[in-house]
Amino acid sequence: MLPSLIWQPFFYNLGPTGARIYFMLAFGCELLVIICEAYIAATRYLTFIRSSLSTNYWEIRKINQWLLVMVVISAAYASVYFLSDFVTSLDAEKTSARFLFSKSSLDWVTVSIFVPFIVATGAFLSLLVRIANHISYRAGGYDLIPYTVYFLLTRVGQGKCLSLLEKESHRIYASDDDY
């Protein structure tokens, strides 16, 4: 957040092109942070579930390779905004920018903004479920996932059955009043 606030006036003083570059850098950096957090979470999980000390996911060589891949993905994600059709306008004081996207690129922009967040949220929830399952298996000797799925399915099934029963009873009472 701090580098963003420091560099914003510099890019905005470059005019609409600078504001566009600032926009691309902000989203590219945001994706890089999300991917790095996912990498850290995944390597911690993989290190946590292995009882062998010979498998280490924190070797500098592996981290350098993955970091390079993450930077390339983030740069590709940010550079796609060069291809999207939008107009940048700055206010008179050059303190805020307005990005006007065309109809053809607005759908893509919406997807490109929300997909990383959805993927990161899904990966985080999956990681939490796996860690909880591993802890419950180590602590109690049973698998948490089948019990949870059974519980959720019975709850959903009960909710659907009750909903159908309420509709059916309403239909029966309504038809009794008609006669």
Instruction: For 62-117, write each residue's pLDDT tens digit.
Output: 777 888 888 888 788 777 776 777 777 777 777 777 777 777 666 766 777 777 77
Residue 32 one-letter amino acid = L
Among 80, 113, 86, smallest CA distance to 100 is for 86
pTM of the model: 0.51
Determine contact, residues 144/133, Cβ cutoff 8 Å.
yes
Which of the four pLDDT bands, split at 50, 70 and 90, describes residue 165?
low
Q: Where do the domains of the chain lie? A: 2-103
Which of the four pLDDT bands, split at 50, 70 and 90, describes residue 20?
confident
Instruction: For 131-163, write each residue's pLDDT tens digit.
Output: 777 777 777 777 766 777 777 667 666 665 556
